[in-house]
Chains A and B, each alone.
Chain A
């Protein structure tokens, strides 16, 4: 192990080993936890930065694995694999993670359990760093599970709130459904490659097309759960019960991007690992997710849930980008969208957190309004976030998302049109949220008394806003770096065509409509909801997917089956066992009567028994059983 390997291990190892100390030191003084936690992630970021500029940019891939389970015929590797893709992810995770934790120092400073909170945040970030640097599918899965565990603990951080406890449970179980597909995918990868595909670099050892399809689809099953894609996206909106900084971390840097990273990771090793069948599934799961989440985002009133649905949609773009099947170009498009999204989504969540901090955690946007004057920095930052989210020319989302839409034109016009409509919906709900928060008059008492947050919360917001605004300038370099070759012809680099303008026009139209409908006093929303009431109800009820999962599958299905099993257990099995017990007791009572005490009767019974035994022996000998 040389220095670079040790340092790579330290990127996630330092916070991983440090997190118990973060909690422990809190018993001396609660605030020490905050400082130690922030420092740990900051060190991780510095190490990543150092490795990035002294190794990765020179084309060095840091690889090191050891055998986790000895004695087996194949090596079960755990270790690090740091190439361009994983290092750029690690850089983003540690940087955004650091900013969010810095923001938490201000946001959580009055919580009595903040030492636990910071410990869990550190563990969360380090798990995600371990995930992106993993050298094998198994190690990736280990950290994948730890990420899930941390989200469970953090969503339920305010565990005394019944909603939070319930949301944590839901997140855990729903992502668990995805996780088991991941397990099956690793099992399949092991079987079809005789263990070779366990390490990331050996994934190409799966040779047959149908085997690759199976592995890809099973792994994608895991990604669907983690990255909240249709139909396993239902846990994310509920997960808003946790502290806002947790939501920021889940949505921007960790957790939901893990699924996209997994697929990109697999794709980057060998572009034929995602077969055409798998790619089609991936593309359309992404597209469906974008449209559904865009529609739902329009009718939700909870500011955090709007952002949650926007995350689902934006991840949909990343997934769809991979599903386009353009080889390394897809990876570039997808990961660039991932990182751009990380910046503006972290920004939007932190801005939302800052607002909620000011308005006493009233999350309904109908109760806000006029906050631009009260909190100029936060709400201006939010405007930057909304512009970036909807892809206003010049902002991060414009370069990342419109590139994907443009690239899709060459693959499928149908997918292209849906992706473009998705962009339109994104703009609508982003500006619906922004106009309702920023403009008009305060519509509630807390909004009336809102005031700007403290500087420690504003610094991360401003940094993130700056990145969301200027991230576009890295586009060319980013593609070159991730794809490991000079890229030409990408959107924004190649000359614009007419179809390239469609998303921009749709976006500007969306902004206009959003202002016309929600930016001023208007009765249009009421008219639309009453005019298309069936459709409105369908969307308002989230296409009845939540109801289906919660009421039909969980409550009727599983709990019902469980009640039946319990009844069967007690009545049938328990009853049968007790009945056979009774049978022997009662037969004992009956047979007791032949105990007469009369010697002659006994002698008779012995005689009869003897004759029967001899007869039986004779029959057995005749039939050849006994020789």
Chain B
């Protein structure tokens, strides 16, 4: 029925149009329908590797591909697309923007043409910018502007890199497969610039320290439903770029097998992990602290990609542990961080504050909420049984093959991450009850909705084969290096 991606776009645009026309609660429910359509599309394609070819339009090639990374990310989009409408009763405008964002992201994750990729990349900015700018907190304009400009600087370099490839190779269109496979024919400085341009754009989006400063502001100032989708989905753009765009370019280039860029990536990842944990430890605002958690989680992706490129296919087991671990980390982090931010919101609504020193002993008055926060934090610390464990342990085990002794630095980051989580738990939900909070209660339905991501986190943590099977049924074509 909708096994073609063009049909998917068509149906989604109809749903969006319906949301625009209908008022009231309709857009909220239509968002759930929207997510359902994505799932239907995925199931019609059996999650397998599928190429969709719609010819060329002048210099653009209208080619789409459903590979295992995009399948996983599309699943994540639909999960978030079900979770946000269930959890938040926002205005119709928000849901229309959300659907627009989903549409752009689906395009971004599937398209195999650089210019169209760039267009989708920019389209994603629009709804995020408006959501922060319209419904944001006190300094929403500052945060929205910073977010916009930061991402844009990255995009400029990416665009330059795309044009460099196109003109230097003398290609006839912007098809990813031809441009990537031809990269080794152009002169080395150009290749280096292409690699730099993409890397820069993706590392900003991920974000990686020191290119991250847009992120805490954007997360804190955005309305909570905005924070949920920005943290859960937008950081995946950078990760997707690194895994599916940057890695093949690097491996096809003449620089493949050189160690400088992979080492730099791993060093950046490790630095991000430790730095974000140290900064998080000192935060008083729970929401700000959790936005540094996001940096920490995403730095595992940087480490994984660096290690994967360093190995260059020489150790299949370690390579695949790193790569698959990173893909698993995408969906796992997406769900965990969405749950965390929505719980922080519930906590703020119940107590009137998210300032950590003003909290304390909540387990006594809000046992349900405390249990959920505890579970979400443990998932974030990557305790076995929660999905965070699978991604993290795969990456850690795989990266021993690359880092050996230097793995100690990653492990320091892991311990620090655990430390600030339990330190925050000690000061918020444990310890003596802070009597200044008075008589508080959390909303039951908000807690009930949080069970959805928690259940997913559990299922994926205990039976990760659900996601790992997807890797199996894909023939990995676009990453020659995985199977040497």
Contacts of A562 in B (CB 8 A): 278-279, 281-282
Which residue of A138, A149, A177, A565 contacts B415 across the interface (Cβ within 8 Å)?
A177
* B319 closest partner in A (C-beta): A73
CB contact under 8 A between A195 and B317, given known A145-B383, A565-B275: yes
* Chain A contact residues, majority secondary structure: helix
Contacts of A176 in B (CB 8 A): 414-415, 418-419
Report Cα–Cα, A160/B435, bound state, in Å: 12
From residue B158, how far is it (CB to closest CB) to chain A in Å? 20
Which of B31-39, B223-231, B425-433 lies at the binding interface?
B425-433
Let me know if A73 and B468 touch, CB within 8 A: no
CB contact under 8 A between A71 and B423, given known A160-B431, A162-B431, A180-B414: no
* B474 closest partner in A (C-beta): A71
* A146 closest partner in B (C-beta): B384
From residue A583, how far is it (CB to closest CB) to chain B in Å? 12
Let me know if A165 and B468 touch, CB within 8 A: no
In this complex, how many residues of chain B approach chain A with their Cβ under 8 Å: the count is: 57
Report Cα–Cα, A398/B389, bound state, in Å: 43
* B212 closest partner in A (C-beta): A573
Which residue of A71, A169, A563, A577 contacts B320 across the interface (Cβ within 8 Å)?
A71
Let me know if B468 and A180 touch, CB within 8 A: no
**A168 at the A/B interface (Cβ < 8 Å)?**
yes
From residue B396, how far is it (CB to closest CB) to chain A in Å? 5
Query: Which residues B292-346 have CB closer than 8 A to chain A?
Result: 315-318, 320-321, 324
CB contact under 8 A between A68 and B146, given known A152-B422, A160-B364, A561-B278: no
Contacts of A169 in B (CB 8 A): 422-423, 425-426
CB contact under 8 A between A186 and B423, given known A70-B468, A71-B468: no
From residue A188, how far is it (CB to closest CB) to chain B in Å? 6
Which residue of A164, A173, A187 contacts B407 across the interface (Cβ within 8 Å)?
A187
A interface footprint on B377-400 (CB within 8 Å = 1, 0 otherwise): 010000111000110011011111
Contacts of A149 in B (CB 8 A): 378, 383
Report Cα–Cα, A188/B397, bound state, in Å: 8
CB contact under 8 A between A70 and B378, given known A190-B397, A191-B400: no
Which residue of B385, B401, B407 contacts A146 across the interface (Cβ within 8 Å)?
B385
**A156 at the A/B interface (Cβ < 8 Å)?**
yes
**A209 at the A/B interface (Cβ < 8 Å)?**
no
Which residue of B315, B415, B469 contacts A180 across the interface (Cβ within 8 Å)?
B415
Contacts of B324 in A (CB 8 A): 69, 71-72
A interface footprint on B455-484 (CB within 8 Å = 1, 0 otherwise): 000000000110011011000000000000
Let me know if B464 and A188 touch, CB within 8 A: no
Contacts of A68 in B (CB 8 A): 464-465
Let me know if A159 and B430 touch, CB within 8 A: yes
**B201 at the A/B interface (Cβ < 8 Å)?**
no
Query: Which residues A547-601 have CB closer than 8 A to chain B?
Result: 558-559, 561-563, 565-566, 569, 573-574, 577, 581
Which residue of A70, A164, A183, A569 contacts B393 across the interface (Cβ within 8 Å)?
A183
Contacts of A152 in B (CB 8 A): 422
Let me know if B415 and A563 touch, CB within 8 A: no
Query: Which residues A116-166 have CB closer than 8 A to chain B?
Result: 138, 141-143, 145-146, 149, 152, 156, 159-162, 164-166
A-B contact pairs, 28 of them (CB 8 A): A69-B464, A70-B469, A70-B472, A71-B320, A73-B316, A142-B384, A146-B384, A152-B422, A159-B430, A165-B426, A165-B430, A166-B426, A169-B423, A169-B426, A176-B415, A184-B400, A184-B411, A191-B401, A194-B317, A195-B317, A558-B278, A562-B278, A562-B279, A562-B282, A565-B275, A565-B279, A577-B146, A577-B213
Give the interface of B toward A (CB within 8 A). Answer: 146, 149, 210, 213, 275, 278-279, 281-283, 315-318, 320-321, 324, 361, 363-364, 378, 383-385, 389-390, 393-394, 396-401, 407-408, 411, 414-416, 418-419, 422-423, 425-426, 429-433, 464-465, 468-469, 471-472
